[in-house]
Structure 1
């Protein structure tokens, strides 16, 4: 069982050069991802004068996030594993592929990257603020939790299949593409209901800068539960329980 491989880590791990470089890579990748993803939403709002959401806007958001995540994962893959998502990091931790202390380092870097990206967007656009994630009128908070669980399950399951599994073979080459595609597809499926976050850091940055916290807990609980389920399911059923722990570069 992957739970048996969960490790706290060495207290000195957070000061190791490789860990600090990995955290910096996560910070930069998250900054790139949130700046492009949230920036595309702000650009759409400007072009439509903050008009009602349209199918074209949803497609734009899906494409921008898919493209940006493909790049963000690719540039961080050889340094930190290219998590670019606290939920992905949590899934890797549950599967025993990263220690808790390194995960905390990643989470800190990811959240800071998102905040800085939103602050840079505010500075670059003359004071415009990236809108915080929110629920549509017909969607309750627990409906959104279920939606986030399912979408994040699909994302982390894809990460495990294409980047974590030792048997991935040539699939590892296309991992960033597959990860970007599943996020884009999930935005098309859930974007009209709760914004389709799947990523607590992506929700956290706009919430901090706009200071809007309504239903913010949804975007933590759902992704973390979905990531944990995906990690346990894939690691238990599809990865040999005797495999060695992967190096951090491979998650």
Structure 2
């Protein structure tokens, strides 16, 4: 335990935290700014399907790009749900996961604060659920879509499948954009607790915030455990970490 805690403060670990901070900052900045841009150009953005498409495209492009720049440094989580699944699966230590969370959440809040500070007169949009949706239903929807996202991440990063970095990041971005198209009108299509937390913090309202944490964390964990232990079980185990030496590299 002591050695794992020490590993969380090595030079490489600090680089990983900074990479997560930078990547999450850029991702949240672009995603939230795209929503603000839609509202600026279309006052009725909430009922205009064009704004949904804009958000999905921004999400896909942004996630693909930030994953590419952080891929070989921090693993490119950019999402507390991904980090949680990796920690539960033994791919990273718990102390490291906690520092990833801190970096991601601070980055998200700072990105939204930046938008609020410089885009004068514009409110930072928050994620909300449709009137016909219950909190439980919205959480289930967010959880299922996060399951799909995290399962895709595991598959894309698995060296046994021969995936390439560029194509892998593109695939992950595409599934994220597709999730926004599927869930945007119902639960907001966050599938990223950091993104929801940052916008809620600056907007000053945490209504239904549990929807964007409980469902995604559970969905991500199930996806990671299912991939590692059922569909593509590890062939050889690291004697220290107890995880595959050729599986998901973080």
- 1:115-130 maps to which residues of 2 (within 5 A)? 115-130=109-124
Deviation at 1:166, TM superposition (A): 3.4
CA RMSD of aligned residues (A): 1.9
Q: Could you tell me whether the CA contact under 8 Å between 2:68 and 2:166 is conserved in 1?
A: no
- 1:144-223 maps to which residues of 2 (within 5 A)? 144-163=138-157, 165-223=158-216
Q: Which residue does the alignment assign to 1:234?
A: 227
Residue 21 of structure 2 corresponds to residue 27 of structure 1: yes
Q: In the TM superposition, what whole-angstrom CA distance separates every residue of 1:66-117 from its partner, at most 9, and x where no partner exists?
A: 0000011111111101111000111111221111111001000000110010
Stretches of structure 1 that go unaligned for 5 or more consecutive residues are 1-6
> In structure 1, the residue corresponding to 2:8 is in which secondary structure?
helix
Deviation at 1:235, TM superposition (A): 0.3
Equivalent pairs counted in the alignment come to: 244
Deviation at 1:249, TM superposition (A): 9.1
* CA distance, structure 1, for counterparts of residue 246 and residue 96 of structure 2: 12
Q: Could you tell me whether the CA contact under 8 Å between 2:45 and 2:51 is conserved in 1?
A: no
Q: Could you tell me whether the CA contact under 8 Å between 1:79 and 1:249 is conserved in 2?
A: no
> In structure 1, the residue corresponding to 2:12 is in which secondary structure?
helix
Q: Could you tell me whether the CA contact under 8 Å between 1:144 and 1:194 is conserved in 2?
A: yes
Q: Which residue does the alignment assign to 2:48?
A: 54
Deviation at 1:170, TM superposition (A): 3.1
Q: Could you tell me whether the CA contact under 8 Å between 2:38 and 2:45 is conserved in 1?
A: no
Stretches of structure 2 that go unaligned for 5 or more consecutive residues are none
Q: Which residue does the alignment assign to 1:225?
A: 218
Q: In the TM superposition, what whole-angstrom CA distance separates every residue of 1:132-185 from its partner, at most 9, and x where no partner exists?
A: 11111111000001101110000000000011x230213444111111000000
* CA distance, structure 1, for counterparts of residue 203 and residue 3 of structure 2: 35
Deviation at 1:61, TM superposition (A): 0.4
Q: Could you tell me whether the CA contact under 8 Å between 2:160 and 2:246 is conserved in 1?
A: no
Q: Which residue does the alignment assign to 1:4?
A: none
Deviation at 1:128, TM superposition (A): 2.4
